Structure 1
Amino acid sequence: MDERAREHAEVLVGWSARIEAGDDVIVDVAEDAHDLGVAVAEELGAVGANIVSTYGSDELSRAYLKAHDGAFEAGDHALALLENADAYLRLGGGRNTTATADVESETRQAYSKAHSEVREARMDTDWVSTVHPTRSLAQQAGMAYDEYQDFVYDAVLRDWGMLSERMANVKERLDEGSEVRIVTERDDHPRTDVTMSVEGRTAVNSAASVAYDSHNLPSGEVFTAPYDTEGEVFFDVPMTINAKRVRNVRLTFDDGEVVGFAAEQGEDALETVLNTDEGARRLGELGLGMNRGIDRVTDNILFDEKMGDTVHLAVGRAYDANLPEGEEGNQSAVHVDLITDVSEESFIEIDGDVIQRDGTFWFEDDFEA
């Protein structure tokens, strides 16, 4: 086993999930994440936690969804398992990144809606999602396997305490602000000019730990839950949505809702997401990527949305951590991130003050107001 897998497990269990003796932990292991699963089990044993492991296979999911008649019900056993768990650790790393590409969109929607209560129960735990570097993910990223391993561990094994201090600057500005405006004016693609309200919302300093209301490893973003969105956005970072390639997405917002959309590739996958339910056409998240250790697009949202010089907007569900107590925020069975590059000919304003220009924040060297 690569010794870095053990370090990954130590960060996941200790820093990210903050597992303690006696905690009841579900570990969901993808097909090719075996080594990380073993390392995590060893770490949980050393801590004195209680473990239940499950097999999170995309190929297994495809077989089930293709064979089912579509009248899904969420079993009480799945809900009971999560309701009695303190933490849920998802170790991604499947054999085929497009294993479910031929599952009908109606089937996906029906399954997602039927399992909304299970999904909410999972999010009520101290859940953390991470990935083990696999050959399929390396291929998807267009990288050699050894190169991809180095990339993943460089993104995961960071000084998270130091990064959290830098991201706290952005969290503070978002918490104090009322309106965010994002503008890109590059000649090579359509203009972005979008505004959204963040007043009354609490931004999350996503430093890869549940102690920060952060649930991804790696992380490295500051995110909040916007509303009253107006304008147009062009998302130029390609991605895979429901096992289908999506590229060059355009969304138009009016009165907080998506009223127009297009994509150069994968428009049907985008349309499926937006038609899931009423909340799927409203924003659930605005995120600013700040992990400079992620320096390239890999077609994996866990990494790409955290990349420095990017902004992502997610249609669908808002996270409770961003909302005032007692407020629901945007509700949806989906939460799908779309990413735009803000490294050049771009700026971000909060209440009219530029806080980032061409990917550089106001507290960084070479910032030009």
Structure 2
Amino acid sequence: MVDKKTLEKYAELALKTGVNLQANQAVMINAPIEGADFTRIVAKKAYELGAKDVHINWSDDELTLLKYENVPDEVIGSFPDWRVKLHDTYAEDGAAVLSIRSTNPDLLQNIDPKRVAMANKASGEAMKNFRKYTMNDKIPWSIISIPSGDWAQKIFPDKTKEDAVESLWEAILKIVRVDQEDPIAAWNEHNETLKTKREELNEKNYKKLIFQAPGTDLELELPEGHVWKGGSAVAETGVTFNPNMPTEEVFSMPHKYGVNGTVSSTKPLNYGGSVIDNFSLTFKDGKVVDFQAEQGEAVLQHLLDSDEGARRLGEVALVPHESPVSQSGLIFYNTLFDENASCHIALGKAYPTNVEGGSSMSEEELDQHGVNDSLIHVDFMIGSDKLDIDGVKQDGTTEPVFRGGTWA
């Protein structure tokens, strides 16, 4: 098993570099029951760093599945007010939010996708206000992962549960740099690298990007005033934090009406406890007009039908093929990891911070700037060592951005 000292190092990284917890600040932690031991280490460390309050929202895969199997549609399609109030109260208080993810990718594979879509829609609508706090960087937030038995065995099917968990711990700790002498210093260096890359792209100010790979021929127009971000972010309070650990991407947004062509997935997408795999989407004027999937087509259909904005894109992210996640050679069936193995795009809501002045714009102003709105934000992977990307400059000339899956 992973020794306590290493787990303490990981907890400290999540709190200091992830959410950058400040003295006398509250922290809300979303955590799985299976990870209770690690979560207690995080809570203890948070109090040591001066947190005024540590609140844990526990989740449990088995109880989640029981609920989906047994409750009527009207319960599935509703979201409790007390949970909305809980999240809003902590957000209004300027709390940090840390999510510890380890869900079984196949948890809901035998549940009617319609019921899963109903639940996702209900939570999306209810948590709209809270999502403004995170997607506009009003409060510091971060997502990390720890292994669970079912998830580990999905990645390492030939190993016993115990050995699979051990192997997944090893992979995660390496990818998030906890295996290094000073993980925090390693992350500071990594953030500087990503900062340099995003500054280069902001200077280029491309008009559009053209993606070409087997099964992919896609043109993405970038809105006027678009901003590339990546690595660390800065909250309204001026605190620097890392929303995703790991992160290897620089990302911006496509214009919601300016996407045309076809794109094919290069890795499975785990969405709401089901896997969608080997799928392609065809866009016209920003909207998905056709789609197909070898696995999970019904789930993909419900995802696209979530709301008006679900068929449009909210993010484009560039990740070189030689990222540590990609080099691990593993498929994680977990977006936090798989999106950092390859270039990806996201269906649904765009981050308002990806356009100049976006976080203070009204919904109407955002729409006028080509910023997509939706209840969902779902990343899926389109990158590989066969992906080429060209950037079209403001004067119409073209130059290579990616060749063979890496920076040109």
Give TM class, smaller chain.
0.7 to 0.9
Q: Which residue of 1 aligns with 2:404?
A: 358
Answer whether contact 2:306 2:376 (CA < 8 A) is retained.
yes
Point out the structure with the larger strand share. 1
Checking the alignment, whether the CA contact within 8 Å between 1:204 and 1:213 is kept in structure 2 is no
In the superposition, relative to structure 1, how do residues 237 and 97 fare at CA in structure 2: closer, same or farther (>3 Å)?
A: closer
Give the drift of 1:330: 1.4
User: Structure 1 residues 81 and 345, CA, compared in 2 at 3 Å: closer, same or farther?
Assistant: closer
Query: Which has the bigger relative contact order, CA under 8 A and spacing at least 6?
Result: 2
TM-score by length of 2: 0.80
- Quick check: 1:163–1:207 contact (8 Å CA) kept in 2? no
Supply the RMSD in Å over aligned alpha carbons: 2.4
Post-superposition CA distance 1:195-230 (Å, at most 9, x none): 321431111122488656641111121111111212
Deviations 1:288-333 (A, max 9, x none): 12572212321111011111xx210000011122122234321111
Residue aligning to 2:152: 138
The structure 1 residue matched to 2:176, chosen from 156, 163, 177, is 156
Q: Residue 20 of structure 2 contacts residue 241 of structure 2 at CA under 8 Å; is this kept in 1?
A: no
- TM-score norm. by structure 1 comes to 0.88
Report the more deviating stretch, 130-139 or 330-339: 130-139
Q: Distance in 1 between matches of 2:151 and 2:50?
A: 32
Structure 1 runs not aligned, ≥5 long:
363-369
In terms of mean alpha carbon deviation, does 161-170 or 36-45 score higher?
A: 161-170
Is 1:178 aligned to residue 186 of structure 2? no
Whole-angstrom CA distance in 2 between matches of 1:300 and 1:341:
16
Equivalent of 1:113, from 115, 118, 125?
125
**Are the counterparts in 2 of residues 197 and 229 from structure 1 also a CA contact under 8 Å?**
no
Q: 2:224 aligns with which of 196, 199, 202?
A: 199
CA displacement, residues 6-38 of structure 1 (integer Å, 9 cap, x when unaligned)? 111111111121101100111121122223212
CA contact (8 A) 1:74 1:115 kept: no
Q: Which runs of 5+ in 2 are unaligned?
A: 158-163, 178-182
* Distance in 1 of aligned mates of 2:49 and 2:213: 52
User: 1:33·1:131 contact (CA, 8 Å) conserved in 2?
Assistant: no
| Partner deviation per Cα, 1:114-138 (whole Å, 9 max, x = no partner) | 3323433455431111111232222
C-alpha separation between the residues in 1 aligned to 2:61 and 2:132? 21
Give matches, 1:6-155, under 5 Å: 6-49=8-51, 50-64=53-67, 66-68=70-72, 69-70=74-75, 71-76=77-82, 77-78=85-86, 79-94=88-103, 96-101=104-109, 102=111, 104=115, 105-121=117-133, 123=135, 124-142=138-156, 144-155=164-175
Question: CA–CA distance in 2 between the matches of 1:271 and 1:178?
Answer: 32
Distance 1:62 1:209 in 2: 37
Sequence identity (%):
25
Q: Is the 8 A contact 2:18 2:241 kept in 1?
A: no
Moved more, 15-24 or 99-108: 99-108
